[in-house]
A = this chain, B = another copy of it.
């Protein structure tokens, strides 16, 4: 697998592939790859050649008091995984390659970026939108792969792609979970012992809400009560938000009559975890995806 460290070289590779009418797939990551990332790669490999992954720990999407400095960076293991998965190239730029001296242009998806994750992490989605646009310009993908765990991020990237007329299709892949339900996340590395056990509270709360939805409950307040009850049972968990929102607008919903997300953000010790449940009305039924 070729490791591509400069913007210029990545652009050149992409230009060649486009010239040869090949279909470029991009899997943007921040490294610390887990089975969730590798699912994105698998999806990409099915539809695209070449497939590029990027590893870039994007500083602009971290707040000043967030975990940028301690975020895991197991580069060697990451390279092994991508090589084994037959990724064609790894775009691995340094920060100053992406944000050279004097950099000052930002992309902002208004409204969607201010709520929920954006409210808890001011500036986060501006950093995400900006770097993702740059990655799209640099790697010129026809398809780009993102995990549904970051549901709001995916929605914002879709909105940006539509609004700015970008020539890329955003592919959303399912959440991958541990045996006990914990959604895979590079931040799970922070968890050990009792905290690791407590971290399953997100999945347990979502499972309870999913069971109610499957039983036909469409009333947000009722689902909310269930979430609160389950989450309240775990003393190591401090809830940041637990909300039921429209899957398109991310506005709170009173009754689920269109696709909706149950979104959770929970602190377990110093670790902030997110997870979600997608509820989709199908006729009289509610379909749930955990």
Give me the interface of A with B, judged by CB distance under 8 Å. 7, 11, 18-19, 21, 102-112, 129, 133-134, 137-138, 159-160, 163-167
Contact = CB atoms under 8 A, between A and B. Distances in A.
B110 A163 contact: no
Contacts of A166: 137
B108 A105 contact: yes
A106 B112 CA distance: 12
Contacts of A160: 105
A103 B134 CA distance: 20
Contact of A167 (B11, B111, B134): B11
A138 to B, nearest CB: 5
A133 B19 CA distance: 23
B167 A133 contact: no
- This chain's copy number in the assembly: 2
A112 B104 contact: yes
Contacts of A106: 107-108, 110
Chain A, interface SS category? mixed
Contacts of A108: 105-108
Nearest to A113: B104
Nearest to A160: B105
Contacts of A167: 11, 137
B109 A164 contact: no
Nearest to A126: B108
B159 A104 contact: yes
Contact of A163 (B11, B103, B129): B103
A103 B165 CA distance: 11
Contacts of A165: 7, 11, 134, 137-138
A61 B112 CA distance: 22
Contact of A105 (B7, B19, B163): B163
Given A104-B163, A105-B129, 4 more contacts: A105-B108, A133-B164, A134-B164, A137-B164
Which among A105, A112, A133 has the greatest number of chain B C-beta atoms within 10 A? A105
Contacts of A159: 102, 104-105
A20 to B, nearest CB: 11
A-B complex: 6 closest residue pairs judged by Cβ atoms: A105-B163, A137-B165, A104-B110, A105-B109, A105-B160, A138-B165
